[in-house]
Amino acid sequence: MDSRFRGNDGNGGNGGGPLRGVRVVEMGQLIAIPFAMKLLADMGAQVIRLESTGRLESYRSDSVYRNEIHGEFWNRGANFYEQNRNKLGITLDLGRSEGLELLRRLIAVSDVFAENFTPRVIKNFGLEYSELRRIKPDIIMVSSTGYGFSGPWANFGATGPATEGASGLAYTTGYRGGPPVMAEIPYVDYTAGEHTVFAVMAALMSRLRTGQGQFIDVSQTQAAAATIPEALLDFAANGREPVRIGNADPVMAPHGCYPCAGQDRWIVIAVADDSEWQGLCRVMGRQDWAADRHFSGSLGRWRLREELDAMLAEATAPWDAHRLMAALQAAGVPAGAVLDSKDLLFDPHLRQRGFYEVVRHHPSTGMPPLPYAGRPWKLSETPAVPPEPAPLMGEHNDFVLRELLGLTADEVARLEGEGVIGYAPADPRPVQRPSLDEQVRQGRMLRYETDFPEQVSRAYPPPPES
């Protein structure tokens, strides 16, 4: 075993947390399950993440820190670190009978087994719930798939865009007269992940009462469909199809996103009643708008919403978005500056609330301490555990196999020699991204800043060495 790998007490070295004592085996990829299990790990659960050296996950090979694809690039994947903090990491070749048997032995001493592969893959491995109950009668199994574990679409491959379309979410999103518009981020994965956390906690509570485990079947498409109940109910009750309206609102006007001073700077403003309308007019210095009888009353403004949008866009353009937001909020008008990634990272409100947590990476990665987004909720008596970085590939093979499964050092060494476990991908192929200048030229990014490491380190100094 590589000597740089640290030991672990099963909670990232941190201990504590309301879920201390719960063990989870995660056979996940990308976001839907890894994100959900990350939240459980934050709360102190011992999450053991399974990987394969024969099939490198894309989050390990792409979006590598600073595009440095030399050396052990697979231990510098930015997206991998984002989704897998506070977890233990092991590698097993499930194509080998011994690797699959070790996974079954690990499940037998765990509380939850979570995966987001298609039912066909799980059935081929013999890891269905009916099989797992034979080795652990009270096991809780979570299957998060694009369309559910059963039904005619069960074995369809699923990506964020596919499920966003299948859920109806994309159909309701877009500008008037235009096509459906999908979110820039994998919205469905995160929505399904949050539902998954709720379902796992409910199953754990049920097991405390009954002693019985159960199968949790999460449909990512259905999780997203549950976020548009108004459109579903409108058709069920009235037979009406929704019309895409962009940033507009069916009742409020003005209601939209308006330009501000600077490159790609915006503010969102929503006016619900006459009081807010008068406040907006005062801040913008447009008493002529306030006195215009055509804009009197919500219905009158809504009928002239396109004219209002054009007028307001011209008026907001010279303003700094944050100054205008503060002025409008002080006048009782709901408004918010549209924050880009840099705004979010350095936002004083988020920093004061401790939303970002600085994580030290292993020295072998060459990555400095970096801030990661935390959780939007806080527990006063049982807070989240201090953050640990995502595991290096195979980092906890020795701990899991020897401490949890009782293998000897010689047995672990044999497994490594035979390729059942490993510490590096068998076929390491990083994704080669164009230079930053080329990505700007191609329109893949708006801009970049060369001194970002200094900006980040000043705002988020590294935590003390443990």
Packing angle of the helix pair 321-330, 274-284 (nearest 10 deg) = 130
How many DSSP H helices and E strands does the chain contain? 21, 11
465 exposure class (CB count in 10 Å sphere: 0-12, 13-18, 19+): exposed
Name the residue among 83, 79, 81, 136 with its Cα closest to residue 107: 136
Kindly give the residue spans of alpha helices, DSSP state H, lying in 374-433.
Answer: 397-398, 409-417
Reduce the DSSP state of residue 27 to 3 states and report it: strand
Name every residue whose Cβ is closer than 8 Å to that of residue 61 and which is 6 or more positions away in sequence: 73, 74, 77, 428, 429, 430, 431
3-state percent helix, strand, coil for the chain, nearest multiple of 5: 40, 10, 45
Token pair for residue 344?
């979010």
Catalytic: which of 111, 189, 309, 398? 189
Q: How far is CA 457 from CA 28, 75, 183, 447, in A?
A: 32, 21, 31, 20
Q: How far is CA 62 from CA 59, 67, 333, 342, 408, in A?
A: 5, 9, 43, 21, 35
Residue 370 backbone phi and psi in degrees, to 5 = -135, 150
Q: How far is CA 182 from CA 190, 242, 258, 451, in A?
A: 14, 16, 21, 32
Whether 305 and 291 have beta carbons less than 8 Å apart is answered as: no
From CA 383, how far away is CA 390, in angstroms rounded? 20
From CA 304, how far away is CA 391, in angstroms rounded? 56
From CA 124, how far away is CA 30, in angstroms rounded? 21
Omega before residue 389 within 30° of 0, cis = no
Whether 373 and 79 have beta carbons less than 8 Å apart is answered as: no
**189 is known as an active-site residue:** yes
Token pair for residue 325?
């937001």
Q: Which amino acid is at 452?
A: F
Name the residue among 202, 225, 223 with its Cα closest to residue 214: 202
Q: Are strands 23-27 and 266-270 parallel, antiparallel or unpaired?
A: unpaired
- Residues with catalytic roles: 189
